[in-house]
């Protein structure tokens, strides 16, 4: 927080350097479980990104995604869903349907649905995410592995054990 105050005092509150610091602080507060502080800073980050980059910029999408993660932790699933969907829309429009950022947004939205028990809604999103990560980054990349692990969990919850075993085998994911 001290770094943000220093940047705010030197450059003003709405600048790119402060936004970068806010993003890091949101992540720290999330890890520490200080969801109130994380939300406040994430909301400020979104406002700065919208002002500096526009409401449909990739930077704004990344900020929306971070705020959605905070809302999800606060169990505001509807708010998180709306923000994840907006971030996904931005990445698909600005970067295309087969981009790492798009894959990340698909995974985040799918993970949200999975956490809520909406496994059938989660599956196509996470499958698409896995396919994009695999194509762009390869089978063994950590992002691909993470998405494949999420897909495996979804398939197990859908009682698609044969499909889950196939994912485990293909991506070398343990039992």
Q: Going residue by residue through the chain (175 aa), what tens digit of pLDDT does each one get?
A: 666 677 667 766 776 777 788 888 899 999 999 999 999 999 999 999 999 999 999 999 999 999 999 999 999 999 999 999 999 999 999 999 999 999 999 999 999 999 999 999 999 999 999 999 999 999 999 999 999 999 999 999 999 999 999 999 999 997 6
Sign of the alpha-carbon torsion through 62, 59, 57, 36: positive
Q: Where are the alpha helices (DSSP H) in the chain?
A: 2-11, 16-32, 35-53, 58-73, 77-95, 100-115, 119-137, 142-157, 161-171
pLDDT digits (tens, 9 = 90+) for 33-55: 999 999 999 999 999 999 999 99
Instruction: Name the 3-class secondary structure at 102.
Output: helix
pLDDT digits (tens, 9 = 90+) for 100-121: 999 999 999 999 999 999 999 9
Q: Which residue has the tokens 């691909």?
A: 144
pTM (predicted TM-score): 0.89
How many residues in the chain?
Answer: 175
């Amino acid at each position: 927080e001290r770094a943000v105050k220093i940047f705010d005092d030197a450059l003003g509150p709405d600048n790119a350097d402060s936004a970068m610091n806010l993003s890091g602080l949101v992540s720290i507060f999330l890890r520490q479980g200080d969801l109130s502080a994380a939300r406040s800073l994430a909301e400020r980050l979104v406002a700065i990104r919208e002002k500096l980059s526009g409401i449909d910029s990739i930077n704004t999408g990344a900020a929306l995604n971070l705020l959605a993660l905070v809302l999800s932790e606060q169990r505001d699933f509807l708010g998180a869903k709306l923000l994840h969907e907006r971030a996904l829309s931005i990445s698909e429009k600005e970067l295309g349907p087969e981009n790492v950022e798009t894959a990340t947004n698909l995974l985040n939205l799918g993970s949200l649905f999975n956490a809520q028990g909406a496994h059938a809604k989660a599956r196509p999103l996470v499958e698409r995410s896995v396919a994009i990560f695999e194509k762009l980054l390869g089978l063994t990349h950590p992002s691909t592995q993470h998405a494949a692990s999420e897909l495996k969990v979804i398939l197990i919850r859908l009682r698609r054990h044969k499909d889950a075993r196939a994912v485990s085998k293909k991506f070398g994911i343990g039992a």
